[in-house]
């Protein structure tokens, strides 16, 4: 019997569940060498994973669209039970059920003190910011596993106040590690407020989370665009207006058919760098969503960009896109005085408030994203189904702790 098992990238389109060592209260060697810090991590905790989700960001790696090496462990959306703590952990106890923000943060640097935990300065020698199980993000072991080590546990872990209540709502609470705060961040930074009209590009899990977040923020109309009918049906299931991008009409025209005007107050790009154009035979156009959302956002408005853009894409359609250089109509954005917010969501800025909304019954994020439980051994099939555009958010239950 293995000490631990984790989902591993095996090459384009392939993942497998493999045995790895049980986690220790130690930092990754890459972090230790690059930052010249101690490997021992008395500030860390080890969690038995209760739920861990497949994310669209993982899918980019699995498609071979990043520089992830074969053998990269996967998984950054983690909810778990604390089973071991280091000597310097003061406020997190064994038995606590906690959400783990996908961005790893030290809680001590300038960025963390400013609330910018997505770009912590002390967790990744290569660049600001780190995440579990992701390429170029510090070498931290992935969380699509049975057990995981969480550093700086007092700072990073969000403890649920009642264990039984948490397990009853675990399919909602599991979304706090990434997509719910990320979707909320996209909508909030796009300026969604009471009465706003909103366009969300992409009806994948992050887009649906952004749409539900826009509703929580008081939007009067939430329009969601996608090319996949099943995903549009999922958006419509909780009150959004689906925009079928298989039509040949331009986006402003499609929006005008719904709202009577060709613009919205706020827009969110929940697609990222693998964007495709409109129409039945659409092809990949990496900048098309960013240009679309600029074209339909009201003058003086804002655009939230939670969709992932990378600096290295070996499968890109041209040499510029391989380095993250896109044909962006920045002149249009400038002329319209638009505001853009990009980058990793600082999960800790939102996760406690969103937890409260879930526990109070005000947010039904699991329903919005169609949360679907699978086992760890079913993860490879989950990746295949997700890649085919399944209108589901796959939640891995490694230990069979989630009720049917």
Contacts of 108 (CB under 8 A, 6+ apart): 122, 152
In a domain, 56, yes or no: yes
Three-class DSSP category at 91: coil
Neighbouring C-beta atoms of residue 363, cutoff 10 Å: 25
Interatomic CA distance for residues 289 and 226, integer angstroms: 11
Number of domains in the chain: 2
pLDDT of residue 207: 98
DSSP H stretches of helix in 217-350: 229-236, 251-259, 288-296, 319-322, 330-335
Q: Are residues 142 and 20 in the same domain?
A: yes
Rounded to whole angstroms, the Cα distance separating 222 from 197 reads 6
Q: Contact at 8 Å (CB) between 346 and 307?
A: no
Specify whether 236 is located in the same domain as 332.
yes
- Do 378 and 255 lie in one domain? The reply is no
| DSSP three-state, residue 215 | helix
Out of 295, 314, 341, a domain closes at 341
Strand order in the sheet with 297-304: 241-244, 221-226, 197-201, 264-269, 297-304, 339-341
Asked if residue 401 is part of any domain, the answer here is: no
What are φ and ψ of residue 265, in 5° steps? -75, -30
Q: Which domain holds residue 288?
A: 182-341
Please identify every stretch of the chain with a pLDDT value under 70, giving residue numbers as ranges: 1-2
Instruction: Note whether residue 194 is domain-resident.
Output: yes
Select from 112, 170, 55 the least CA-distant residue to 349. 112
Contact at 8 Å (CB) between 303 and 190? Answer: yes
Using alpha carbons, select from 83, 76, 92, 3 the residue that is nearest to residue 43. 92
Query: 308 with 351, same domain?
Result: no
Final residue in a domain of this structure, among 341, 357, 380: 341
Determine what percent of the chain is predicted with pLDDT higher than 90.
Answer: 97
Integer Cα distance of 245 and 267 in angstroms: 16
User: Among 341, 368, 387, where does a domain finish?
Assistant: 341
Residues 140 and 256 in one domain: no
The verdict on 198 and 227 lying in the same domain is: yes
| Residue 403 counted as domain residue | no
Residues 106 and 255 in one domain: no
Choose among 367, 283, 349, 363: nearest CA to 321: 283
Long-range contacts of 220-224 (CB under 8 A, 24+ apart): 220/195, 220/196, 221/197, 221/258, 221/259, 222/198, 223/197, 223/198, 223/199, 223/255, 223/258, 223/259, 223/264, 224/199, 224/200
Same domain flag for 150 and 170: yes
Query: Is 33 among the domain residues?
Result: yes
Answer yes or no: do 352 and 300 share one domain. no
Identify the CATH number of the domain in which residue 237 sits. Answer: 3.40.50.720
- Give a yes or no: residue 402 inside a domain: no
CA-wise closest residue to 98 among 150, 55, 145? 150
Residue 129 maps to a domain: yes
* CA proximity to 76, closest of 60, 105, 53: 53
Q: Are 183 and 208 in contact (CB under 8 A)?
A: yes
pLDDT of residue 282: 84
Distance CA 318, CA 172 (A): 40
Here the tokens at position 276 are 């495709």
What does DSSP assign to residue 77? E
Taking phi over 0 as left and psi of -120 to 50 as alpha, with beta for the rest, 362 belongs to alpha
Q: Are residues 126 and 231 in the same domain?
A: no
Q: What residues does 49 pair with on adjacent strands? A: 80
SS (H, E, C) 365-388: HHHHHCEEEECHHHHHHHHHHHHC
Is residue 86, in this structure, part of any structural domain at all? Answer: yes
pLDDT digits (tens, 9 = 90+) for 14-48: 999 999 999 999 999 999 999 999 999 999 999 99
The reply to whether 159 and 36 lie within a common domain is yes
| Nearest one of 403, 401, 404 to 49, comparing CA atoms | 401
- pLDDT attached to residue 1: 42
For CA atoms 109, 112, 117, 118, the dihedral sign is negative
- Rounded CA gap, 47 and 93, in Å? 11
Q: What is the CATH number of the domain that holds 161?
A: 3.90.180.10
Same domain flag for 149 and 245: no
């Amino acid at each position: 019997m293995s000490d631990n098992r984790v989902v591993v990238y095996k090459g384009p389109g392939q993942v497998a569940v493999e045995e790895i060592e049980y986690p220790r209260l130690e930092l990754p060697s890459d972090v230790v060498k690059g930052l010249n810090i101690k490997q021992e991590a008395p500030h860390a905790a080890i969690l038995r994973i209760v739920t861990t989700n497949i994310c669209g960001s993982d899918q980019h790696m699995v498609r071979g669209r990043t520089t992830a090496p074969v053998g990269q462990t996967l998984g950054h959306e983690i909810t778990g039970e604390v089973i071991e703590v280091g000597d310097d952990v003061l406020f997190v106890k064994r038995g606590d059920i906690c959400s783990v923000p996908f961005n790893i943060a030290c809680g001590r640097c300038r960025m963390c003190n400013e609330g910018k935990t997505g770009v912590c300065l002390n967790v990744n020698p290569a660049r600001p910011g780190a995440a579990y199980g992701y390429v170029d993000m510090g070498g931290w072991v992935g969380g699509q596993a049975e057990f995981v080590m969480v550093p700086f546990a007092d700072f990073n872990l969000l403890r649920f106040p009642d264990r039984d209540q948490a397990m009853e709502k675990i399919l909602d609470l599991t979304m706090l590690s990434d997509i719910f705060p990320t979707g909320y961040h996209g909508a909030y930074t796009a300026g969604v407020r009471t009465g706003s009209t909103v366009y969300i590009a992409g009806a994948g899990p992050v887009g649906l989370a952004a749409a539900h977040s826009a509703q929580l923020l008081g939007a009067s109309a939430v329009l969601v665009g996608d090319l996949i009918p099943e995903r549009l049906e999922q958006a419509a299931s909780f009150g959004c207006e689906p925009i079928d991008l298989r039509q040949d009409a331009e986006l402003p025209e499609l929006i005008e058919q719904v709202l009577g005007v060709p613009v919205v107050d706020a827009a969110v790009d929940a697609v990222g760098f693998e964007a495709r154009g409109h129409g039945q035979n659409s092809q990949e156009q990496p900048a098309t969503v960013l240009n679309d959302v600029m074209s339909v956002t009201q003058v003086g408005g804002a655009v939230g960009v939670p969709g992932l853009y990378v600096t290295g894409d070996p499968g890109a359609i041209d040499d510029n896109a391989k380095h993250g250089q896109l044909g962006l109509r920045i002149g249009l954005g400038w002329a319209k005085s638009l505001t853009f917010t990009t980058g990793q969501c600082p999960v800790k800025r939102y996760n406690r408030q969103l937890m409260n909304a879930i526990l109070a019954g005000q947010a039904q994020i699991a329903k919005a994203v169609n949360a679907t439980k699978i086992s760890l051994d079913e993860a490879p099939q989950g990746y295949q189904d997700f890649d085919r555009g399944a209108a589901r958010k796959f939640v891995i239950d490694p230990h069979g702790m989630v009720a049917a």
